[in-house]
Structure 1
Amino acid sequence: MNRATRRRCRPPLPLALLSLALLHAQGAWAQDAELDRPLVLKRTPQLAETIPPLLRSQLPTFVDGDKISGRPDLETVVEGNATLRRGDLSLRADRLEYYQPDDRARATGNVRINQAGNVYEGPELELKLETFEGFFNKVRYRFLETGGHGDAERIDFVDSNVSVARRATYTTCRPEDYPGWMPAWLLSAATLTTDTEDNVGVATNARLTFMGITTPPFPSLSFPLSNDRKSGMLPPVIGIDSVNGIDITTPYYWNIAPNRDATLYPTVMSKRGINLGTEFRYLEEKYSGEIRADYMPDDRLRDGRDRWGVWTHHSQTFDAQYFGLDSLVGTLAINRVSDNDYWRDFTRTPSLTQRLLANDGSLNWAKGDWSGVARVLSYQTLQYAPAPIVPPYDRMPQITANYNKFDWNGFDFSLNNDYTRFEAKPLEQGGQPNGERVFSVASLSRPFLTPGTFVVPKVMLNATAYQFDGPLLTNGATHADRVVPTFSLDSGLIFERDANYFGRAFRQTLEPRAFYVYTPFRNQNYLPVYDTAQNDFNFATVYTENAFSGDDRISDSNLLTLGVTTRLIDPDTGAEAARFGIAQRLRFADQLVTMPGGVPVTDRFSDLLLGAQINWTPKWSVDGTVQYNPDTQTSARTAISARYNPSPYRTISAAYRYQADTTPTSNDGNRAVDVSWQWPLNDLWGDKGQDLGPGRGQGGGRWYAVGRLNYSLESSKLTDGVLGFEYDGCCWIGRVVLERVTTGQATASTRIMFQLELVGFAALGSSPRRTLTQNIQRYTPLRTPSIGPSRFTNYD
C-alpha cells in the first residue's frame, strides 16, 4: 500500500451507537411534522485537555506509513515514516509493529513519542498503548510543563503518569547550538522517577552540578514537575542576620489536600538557639483561614527566656437564611506574642515590627437596608522604654446597627447606632475611668443633581450617653449625655471644555466647590476620650462636618470650605491625565471643642491646601500635596512623589516628605527622602533585552539592580534600606540582597540574603522576594508561577 493508505485498527464503538441514535431520531421526526428540523451538531468551546480513562479505552487507533502490511485483527507492520495515533499519543518511527490482541506496539529507528506534550526520542521502544506500559532504550526526553529535559539509558513506563529512568540526567537549561555546550546546572541520578499526575520527580543517588561544581551524592531528592504544590522537604534557607547570627531553616511542606496545607520550619540561630515554627492554611466552602505559631525555648539573646508568638486569621460564612438575614459572616484574628521585645527580635513574623497587636472577633450581618456588627477587640501593647505608647482601649464588646435608605422620595436617610464598652488600665490612661457609651447619629439629605451642578443640604443629629465605672477627674460625674445638631450644605459646579496642551487633545474640567457646615457649641471637653483623634488636614477631610474622628468629640463649627479642581481627561479613553486642586477653610467663629490639653482654634483662615496628580502617560506619574501657612509663608507639610515605570522590570520611584515640628522650641521639622528602584544594569551598555511575557524576565545573561533607601534628613542617617542585585541566567537566577530594618530609636536589624534559584527545579538559600515586593513599588519578579501550557502547544 502507498503512504496515503490508512487502516483503522479498532472500530469506534461510540460512532456506531451514535449512528443508531440518529436513525431512531430521524424516524421520530418523520412521524412528527412539528419537530421536523435539521440535526445540528453540539459545539464544544475547546478540545479536552485530559482524556477520561473510560473514554481512552474506546478511542480508535490510526496508523499510516510508506508501506503497510499484516493480518486483520492480529498485527500491522508499517515500514517507512511510520505513524501511530491514539488520543493524546503520537508515535513516529522508521519501522512500527502493532499487535492488536495485546494492544502492544514495537518501534525501531528514530522513534519519537509525544504523550500529551511530553516528548521521548530514541532508537527502540516497546509499549502497550492503553495502559502505557513498556520501555524505551537510550532515550532523550522533554517535559511540557517545565521545559525540563535530559537523557537516560532506559525508561520504564509504569503507566501513563509514572515512568522510571535509569542513569538519567535532568535540567531546564535550553540547549545551545555550539560544540561542547554544557548546561549551567544538571541533575544526574541512578534512577529518576517522574509522576505527571502528582507533578513530582524523585531522584536517587543524585548529584547536582552547577557551573562545573558537583555536590556529594544525595540518597534521595524530590523536585516539582510543575508549579503545583507537593509534600516533602523544601531546600534549606540560609541567612546572615546581625541579631540572629547565621540562621539555617529546613522547612517541610505537607500538601494535606487541594484546599489544606501545612509548613513546618525549624530554624537554628547561631546567636540564639532553635526556633520551632509551623503554619497551617485551609480553604473550605464556608470558611477559610491560616494559623501560624512560633516557639523558641531558652533564647540566649534574652537571658534564656522562652519566646513564642501566635497569629491566626479565620473567616466564615454562616447560613443567613436560618436566622432570617441576607448575609452573616464571622471573622477572628488573634495576634499574641510572649513579651515586649518580640517586635524587635523577630522582624520577619506576620506582625512585622508592629507594637499594637489586635485580637479581634466580629460577626457581620445584613438584612435589607439594615446592617451591623457584634465585635470584641483587645490589644496587646508592646512597650519600649525609650518610646512608650499609650495603649488604646479594648472594646468589650462593640455592637452596631446601621440603617441606610437612598433615594427615598428624593431623600437619603441614614441611622447609625453604636454601643461599646471601653476597658483599659486606668493608670495607663491618666486616671480616666472605663465606661460604656451609646452613640446614635441620624442623617437626612436631599441631593439636587444635574449634569453640571450639585447641591446637597443635610441635617444631622448626634446623641450620646455615657456610663462610667468611676467618677471623672474633670467634674466627678459618673454619667453624661450629649445631643448635638449639625447642618451642612455641599455645592459645586462642573464646567467642561476642549483643550490642547503640548500637542495633545484633552477634555478639561473646572470644578469649583463650596461646603458650609454649622454645628452649635456643646461643652464636651470634660468627657473622656476613648476612640477619638484630631482629623488629618487633607483633601479627604476638608469637606467633612466633624474635625475629629471617633465619637467622643463633635466639633462646633461655623465655617465655609472653598475649593476648586481642574482635570485633564483623555477624550478617547476617559483616563485622567492630570488633576490640580486647591482648598481653604474660612472660619466665622472660634472652635471651642478641643482634645484634652488642646487650645481653641481661633484662626479665621486655615492653611492653604494644594494638590496635584499627573499621569501624563502610563509610564510615569507625579503626585504632590502641600499644606501652606499664609501667615508664616512657610509649608507646614509637604509630600511629593514621582514614579517612572516604562516597562516590566524597569521602575524608579522617589518621594520627599516634610512635616513641620509642632513644638515651639524647634524651627525645623521631620524631613525624609525615600527612593526605590528595579532596573536592568545591561541597559547601561546598550543591551535592552526583550519582552518574553509576564513572569519570564527579559532574557538570559542580564543583571538587575534592586533597592530602597529611606533616609532621614533631620538625623542624617539611613532609617530603613534594601540594596541588592539579581542575575538572570535563563535557567537559573541568583540574588544577593542586604536589608536594614530600624527596630528602635538606636537599634536596627541587618541581614544579608543569598538565593540560587534553579528554574523549574528548586531554590536554595533565603528568598528576598517578600522583602523586595514590600519595599519596591511595582517590583516585578523575574519568574512567577503561571498556568501550565496546554498539551496542544506541543502537538504533533
Structure 2
Amino acid sequence: MPEQRKGKNIRLLYILASATTLYQIPSSAGIDNAQWDCKQHGEEWVCLPPQKAPSEPVLKKKTPPNRPQAIPLKSEISETTPKIIVGQVPTMPEAPSLGTDKSQPEGWTCLADEARSGWRCKLRGTDPGGKPRLAARKTTEGIFELPATFTPQDERIFADLLRLLPQNPWEKYCQSRSATLGIRAMTQSRQNLPLKLESDFSQSIDDEILFFSGNVKVERGQQKLWADALTYDDVAETVNAWDSVIYEEEGFIFASDSGFLDLENDKARLRNTRFILSTIPARGVARRSRFESEALSRHHSVAYTTCPPGNEDWVLHAKDLKINREVGTAFAHHAWLEFKGVPFLYSPVFGYPIDDRRMTGFLTPSFGRSEINGIDFSIPYYWNIAPNYDLTLIPRILSQRGFMLGTEFRYLFKQTRGRFAFEILPYDTIKNATRGQLALFNQTRFNPYWSSHIDIRYVSDKHYINDLGNTLSIASNRHMRSEARIDYRQGGWHFLAKAENWQTIDPNIPKKSQPYRRLPQLKLRYDANLTPWSHFNWDSEFVFFHHQTNLKGHRFDVNPSFSFPWRTAATFVIPKLSVQHTRYWLLDPSADGRKRDSLTRTIPYASVDSGIFLEKSWGKRYLQTLEPRVFYLYVPRQNQDDIPVFDTTTYDFNFSQLFRDNRFSGRDRRGDANQFSVALTSRFLESETGRERLRASVGQIYYLKDRRVTLPGKKPETRRSSNIIGELDWLPWDVLSLRSGAQWNPQTNRFDRGEALLQYKDTDDYIFNLSYRFRRKQLRNIDGSFRWLVYNNLHMVGRWQYSLRDNITLESFLGVELESCCWRLRLIGRHYIRDIRRSSDNAIFAQLELKGLATLGKRVDRFLERNIRGYEISD
C-alpha cells in the first residue's frame, strides 16, 4: 500500500458470492475487454497491445461457516499478487436495479475526465476490435434548447426509487395538502467517516485500482452508492461507477447511468439522473448532476416538480439548477414554468426556498383586474439583508392610473421588532395628483416591566383606500388610528402613557363628527386583594383632547372601588362600593357657548352581583345546569349637561350590558340608575366529554327610576323595563350549529332586533352558512356563503349579501377552487359596493399555488378566510 494511505480511516469489506468452481470477472464489467495499452502524448493517443494480461482472480471453495470480518485496506492491497478472500456469505439484498438507457450505440464510448487529462471509457455490447465507428458530434446548447422532460422510462425509474425509500413521501404530503419544506444540509462532516465497500466480486489492479462488480455498494455515513460495477482508486480516493447507478444522500436519492465520487474532496458527478428529494418532496430529471460539497449541488438541463410520480401537472424547466442546502435556496437559470402542458412564465433567474428559511430574490407576481384601476400587476423583490431584518420592494403597475412603488422594511431584535412600509403613486392619471400611504409599527420590551408600542398610519387622501387599497379587503373602518404608547406593569400596577391620532378616511363624515385626538393620555391602575374577602381597585386617567374645530380641553378622572366577594361551590355574592371624581379644564369655552372653563363632578355608586349554580343529571348522557343571576345597580342622578362630550357614546344593548355599571362607554357621562337585572341561563352538557350541546339565556332590566342623564340631543328614558334579551346556541350534531339572538320590546309587543346564523360544516370540504340580521328601521340583511366539494378536488365558493330594506346586493362573489396534490387554483369574480353613495365595482382575481415552489396572484385564500365563516387556510 502506498505510504500516503497510512493513517486513513478507511476500511474495505469484501463480500464474495458462494461458488465451488473457478470464475473470471465478466467481460461486461469492462476489464477483460481492455485489449489495448493506451497512453496519451499531448493531444495524440498511442495504443499498443498489452505486454501481459492481468492475473485472473481465483475463487476458492467456501468452507468457513461465518461471514468474513471487515479487513483493513492495507492488508489486502500489497505489492504482491492480490488474492481474493472467500468465506460464507450471508444472504444479502441485491443492489437496487433500475432500467438503463439503451439509446447508446454498441462499442466503446469514451468521455474526457473532469481534469481533461485522461479518458473514461465504457463498452456496450461486443468489442469492435479496433473497427472505427462514427461518434455523435456535440451540439452547442443554447438558452432555449429542447428542455428536459419526463419520459415513460423516467416514470418507471421514479417508481423503482420510491420502493427504495422507507416510505412514499407523497402519501403524507398529499393527504395534508400543504408543502412541508425541510431539506437541510448535514451538520456533521462525513470526510473523516470510514468507507465501506461491498460486492460479489473484486480484483486488485496495479496495486492501486480495485475493481468491484455484482451488487456493489459504497457507504460513508449517509452517503451511499449502488452500481453493477465500479473501480476504486486507492491513491486518488475516487470511485468510478457504471450501469444502474443509484446515489443517495440525506434527503436525496438519484438514479444515474454512471457516477464519479471524489471522496477526498467530497464531490460527485452523475450523468442522466432521475432524482427524488424526499423531504420536500420533489422529483426531477437532469442530464448532468454535480455535487460540489455536502450542501451544494448543480444540475444541468433540468425538469423539476413536486407532483408525485405519474403526475406532471406543473413542471419547472431550467437550463441549470443550483441547490444550496446550507442557505436553504434553489436557483434556476433560464427557467420557465409549464402548467397543464402550457408554458406561461419565463424568468432568466428563478429562486425559491427548499426549507422554511427566507431567501433573497423576486417573489411571485400578483395580478388582477378591476373597473376603477384596470389591470393591476406587481412583482415584489425580497432582500434578506440579515437573519433579523429584510426589505421588500413592490413595483406595481395600474393600467388606468400609472406606476406605483411600495417598500416594506422589517426588523427583529431581542427586545424589539417592527416594520416600516410606504407606497407612492407619483402621478395618478385619473386624479392628476401624487398619492401614497405610510405605516410604521414597533414593539419594544425594555425589561420585564417597561414596554412600548408604536402604530402609525397615514394616507394622502380620503379616497385612497377605496381607490388603491387591496380590493380583496373591505375597508370597513371609517377612521384610521395612529398611536404611540409606553406601558409599565408590575404586580397589580399598570401605568400607561399614550398619544393617539385619528385620520378620517370616509369622505361623507364632516369634520365636526370626527373623533378627538388624545395628546397625551395618562392612565394609572392598581388591583389588590386586601383580605381574602375584600378587593381594592384604583382607576385614574389624565388626558388632553384636541380637535380641529370642536372644543378642546383637559380631563382628569379617578375611580376607586372596594368589593367584598363571597363565594361557595354553588353561589356567589359580590357587593361593591365606588366613587367617580372628574375635573375638566376647557380651552376657549366661550367659542362653544360655555361660561366656565373649569368643571367638577363627583358621583358615588354601588352594586351587588349575585348568582346560583344548580345542576341535574339526565341519565348517563347529559347534565343540565340552571344558573339564575341578579344584579342591582344604584347611581344617584347628577346633572351633567354642562360637561362636554369628548369620547363618550352609548353602549350597544346586548346580553352583557345587563351587568354593566354604566350604560355609557366613556368617562364624560355616569348614567344615573336604580335598577335590577334578572337573567337565567341553562346549559345541556355531555356527561362524559363536558361538551356543550345547548345554551339558552334570557334576561331583562327593571328600572325603578327614570334615566335623566343623556347625551346632547337625546331625551330622558322613562321606560320601566328594558327589552327582553334572549340568546340560543344549539349544536344538535357535530356538523350543524345554530346561533341566534333577539330583543323583544314589551311596550310595542314586537321584535326590535334579531339575528340567526345557521352553519353546516362537515370537514373543510362542505361548509354552508346562512344568516339573517335585522334592526327595526335600520337594516334587514340576509347573508349566505359556502364552500362545497362538487367533484373530486373541485370546490365551489361563494357569498351573497343582500339588503332587503334597500333592495340591493351589498356584495357577491362566486368562484372555484381546484386542488391536487401539488397545486391549487383559486378563481373568483366579485361585485361589491364601495362607498355610502352605492358606487359599485367588479373585479376578477386568480391565485395559482404551485406547492413547494411559489404562489402566483392575489391572496384569494385570505379573502375567503375573512368572508366565509369556517373557511381555514390549510398551510
Q: Shorter-chain TM-score category?
A: 0.7 to 0.9
Rounded Cα–Cα distance in structure 2 between residues aligned with 1:468 and 1:388: 20
Match of 2:520 among 387, 390, 397: 397
Asked if structure 2 preserves the Cα contact closer than 8 Å seen for 1:9 and 1:62, the reply is no
Rounded Cα–Cα distance in structure 1 between residues aligned with 2:853 and 2:525: 54
Q: What is aligned with 1:315?
A: 443
- Is 2:253 the counterpart of 1:119? yes
Match of 2:470 among 344, 348, 369: 348
Q: Figure out how many residues of one structure are paired with residues of the other and give that number.
A: 702
Q: Secondary structure at the match of 1:625?
A: strand
Q: What is aligned with 1:542?
A: 658
Match of 1:7 among 70, 75, 82: 70
Relative distance call for 1:710 and 1:407 in structure 2 (3 A) is farther
- Is 2:467 the counterpart of 1:467? no
Q: What is aligned with 1:778?
A: 870
TM-score (norm 2): 0.76
**TM-align CA RMSD:** 2.6
Relative distance call for 1:456 and 1:8 in structure 2 (3 A) is farther
- Is 2:375 the counterpart of 1:375? no
Structure 1 residue 554: Cα displacement: 0.6
Structure 1 residue 396: Cα displacement: 0.6
Rounded Cα–Cα distance in structure 2 between residues aligned with 1:452 and 1:334: 49
- Is 2:461 the counterpart of 1:336? no
Q: Secondary structure at the match of 1:542?
A: helix
TM-score (norm 1): 0.83
Asked if structure 1 preserves the Cα contact closer than 8 Å seen for 2:184 and 2:328, the reply is no
Structure 1 residue 653: Cα displacement: 1.9
Q: What is aligned with 1:64?
A: 198
Rounded Cα–Cα distance in structure 1 between residues aligned with 2:648 and 2:713: 14
Rounded Cα–Cα distance in structure 2 between residues aligned with 1:530 and 1:6: 91
Match of 1:237 among 366, 377, 397: 366
Q: Please show how residues 626-637 of structure 1 align to structure 2 within 5 Å.
A: 626-637=742-753
- Is 2:681 the counterpart of 1:562? no
Q: Please show how residues 489-504 of structure 1 align to structure 2 within 5 Å.
A: 489-499=608-618
Kindly, what percent of the aligned residue pairs are identical? 29
Q: What is aligned with 1:691?
A: none
Relative distance call for 1:217 and 1:636 in structure 2 (3 A) is closer
Structure 1 residue 72: Cα displacement: 14
Structure 1 residue 544: Cα displacement: 1.2
Relative distance call for 1:644 and 1:72 in structure 2 (3 A) is farther
Asked if structure 2 preserves the Cα contact closer than 8 Å seen for 1:289 and 1:315, the reply is yes
Asked if structure 2 preserves the Cα contact closer than 8 Å seen for 1:8 and 1:61, the reply is no
Structure 1 residue 594: Cα displacement: 0.7
- Deviation by residue 1:97-119 (Cα, 9 ceiling, x = unmatched): 44454443322222112211211
Q: Please show how residues 3-402 of structure 1 align to structure 2 within 5 Å.
A: 4-5=67-68, 7=70, 55-67=189-201, 77-129=211-263, 131-176=265-310, 183-214=312-343, 218-302=347-431, 304-319=432-447, 326-348=448-470, 352-385=475-508, 390-402=513-525
- Is 2:807 the counterpart of 1:716? yes
Relative distance call for 1:292 and 1:582 in structure 2 (3 A) is same
- Is 2:741 the counterpart of 1:625? yes
Runs of 5+ in structure 2 lacking a partner? 1-14, 18-66, 75-181
Q: Please show how residues 658-737 of structure 1 align to structure 2 within 5 Å.
A: 658-661=774-777, 669-682=778-791, 687=792, 702-737=793-828
Structure 1 residue 52: Cα displacement: 6.1
- Is 2:601 the counterpart of 1:482? yes
Q: What is aligned with 1:607?
A: 723
Asked if structure 2 preserves the Cα contact closer than 8 Å seen for 1:455 and 1:491, the reply is yes
Q: Secondary structure at the match of 2:774?
A: strand
- Deviation by residue 1:724-765 (Cα, 9 ceiling, x = unmatched): 111114333222112334221221332211233333233333
Q: Write the letter of the residue equivalent to 1:497.
A: K
Q: Write the letter of the residue equivalent to 1:348.
A: N
Rounded Cα–Cα distance in structure 2 between residues aligned with 1:207 and 1:195: 20
Q: Write the letter of the residue equivalent to 1:64.
A: E
Runs of 5+ in structure 1 lacking a partner? 12-47, 177-181, 320-325, 662-668, 688-701, 785-796
Which is further off, 452-461 or 139-148? 139-148
Asked if structure 1 preserves the Cα contact closer than 8 Å seen for 2:479 and 2:506, the reply is no
- Deviation by residue 1:116-153 (Cα, 9 ceiling, x = unmatched): 12111112111124643121011111122432222122
Asked if structure 1 preserves the Cα contact closer than 8 Å seen for 2:184 and 2:355, the reply is no
- Is 2:668 the counterpart of 1:577? no
Rounded Cα–Cα distance in structure 2 between residues aligned with 1:719 and 1:388: 27
- Deviation by residue 1:295-328 (Cα, 9 ceiling, x = unmatched): 00111221x1100100121100113xxxxxx511
Structure 1 residue 183: Cα displacement: 1.8
Rounded Cα–Cα distance in structure 2 between residues aligned with 1:705 and 1:445: 55
Which is further off, 157-166 or 630-639? 157-166
Relative distance call for 1:553 and 1:76 in structure 2 (3 A) is farther
Which is further off, 719-728 or 228-237? 228-237
Larger radius of gyration: 2
Q: Write the letter of the residue equivalent to 2:690.
A: G
Rounded Cα–Cα distance in structure 2 between residues aligned with 1:212 and 1:236: 20
- Is 2:771 the counterpart of 1:655? yes
- Is 2:853 the counterpart of 1:748? no
Structure 1 residue 216: Cα displacement: 8.2
Rounded Cα–Cα distance in structure 2 between residues aligned with 1:9 and 1:114: 25
Q: Secondary structure at the match of 1:253?
A: strand
Asked if structure 2 preserves the Cα contact closer than 8 Å seen for 1:343 and 1:353, the reply is no
Q: Secondary structure at the match of 1:59?
A: coil
Rounded Cα–Cα distance in structure 2 between residues aligned with 1:211 and 1:81: 40
- Is 2:626 the counterpart of 1:513? no
- Deviation by residue 1:335-363 (Cα, 9 ceiling, x = unmatched): 10111211221231899453311110000
Q: Write the letter of the residue equivalent to 1:330.
A: S
Q: What is aligned with 1:793?
A: none
- Deviation by residue 1:638-671 (Cα, 9 ceiling, x = unmatched): 121122221123322222111112xxxxxxx411
Relative distance call for 1:580 and 1:217 in structure 2 (3 A) is closer
Structure 1 residue 255: Cα displacement: 1.9
Which is further off, 235-244 or 760-769? 760-769
Structure 1 residue 173: Cα displacement: 2.4
Q: What is aligned with 2:9?
A: none
Asked if structure 2 preserves the Cα contact closer than 8 Å seen for 1:7 and 1:63, the reply is no
Q: Secondary structure at the match of 2:794?
A: strand
Rounded Cα–Cα distance in structure 2 between residues aligned with 1:217 and 1:452: 71
Q: Write the letter of the residue equivalent to 2:801.
A: N
Q: Secondary structure at the match of 2:863?
A: helix
Q: What is aligned with 1:764?
A: 856
Asked if structure 2 preserves the Cα contact closer than 8 Å seen for 1:474 and 1:526, the reply is no
- Is 2:540 the counterpart of 1:417? yes
- Deviation by residue 1:410-459 (Cα, 9 ceiling, x = unmatched): 21110011001111123xx4xxx211111011111111100100011111
Relative distance call for 1:770 and 1:453 in structure 2 (3 A) is same
Structure 1 residue 237: Cα displacement: 2.0
Q: Write the letter of the residue equivalent to 1:752.
A: I
Rounded Cα–Cα distance in structure 2 between residues aligned with 1:631 and 1:215: 67
Q: What is aligned with 2:95?
A: none
Q: Secondary structure at the match of 2:657?
A: coil
Q: What is aligned with 1:788?
A: none
Which is further off, 221-230 or 133-142? 221-230
Q: Secondary structure at the match of 2:655?
A: coil
- Is 2:699 the counterpart of 1:587? no
Which is further off, 167-176 or 266-275? 167-176
Rounded Cα–Cα distance in structure 1 between residues aligned with 2:441 and 2:73: 57
